[in-house]
């Protein structure tokens, strides 16, 4: 299931890489799609929403699930 998260602190390729690495470390089969302009990331993963949010937080970014 794909879930989209708003990540207001994400603004560059380094941010993207940190978030991507954090999620892929927990689920190497995850698929991520970034919209840097909107500061959003859509994640298709076997991790739950809370676990995905925690991985983004561990990467150093705040995030909220988009409705």
Q: How far apart are CA 53 and CA 56, in angstroms?
A: 5
Name the helix (H) or strand (E) containing 38: none
Q: What's the mean pLDDT when you consider all of the chain?
A: 97
Residue 2: helix, strand or coil by DSSP?
strand
DSSP state of 37: T
Predicted TM-score (pTM) of the model is 0.94
- 44: confidence class by pLDDT, cuts 50, 70, 90: very high
**Three-state DSSP class for residue 62:** coil
Task: Quick: pLDDT tens for 14-42.
Answer: 999 999 999 999 999 999 999 999 999 99
Residue with tokens 């993963």: 45
């Amino acid at each position: 299931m794909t879930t989209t998260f708003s990540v207001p602190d994400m603004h560059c390729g380094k941010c993207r890489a940190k978030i991507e690495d954090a999620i892929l470390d927990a689920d190497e089969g995850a698929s991520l799609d970034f919209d840097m302009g909107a500061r959003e990331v859509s994640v298709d993963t076997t991790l739950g929403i809370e676990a995905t949010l925690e991985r983004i937080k561990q990467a150093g970014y705040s995030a909220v699930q988009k409705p």
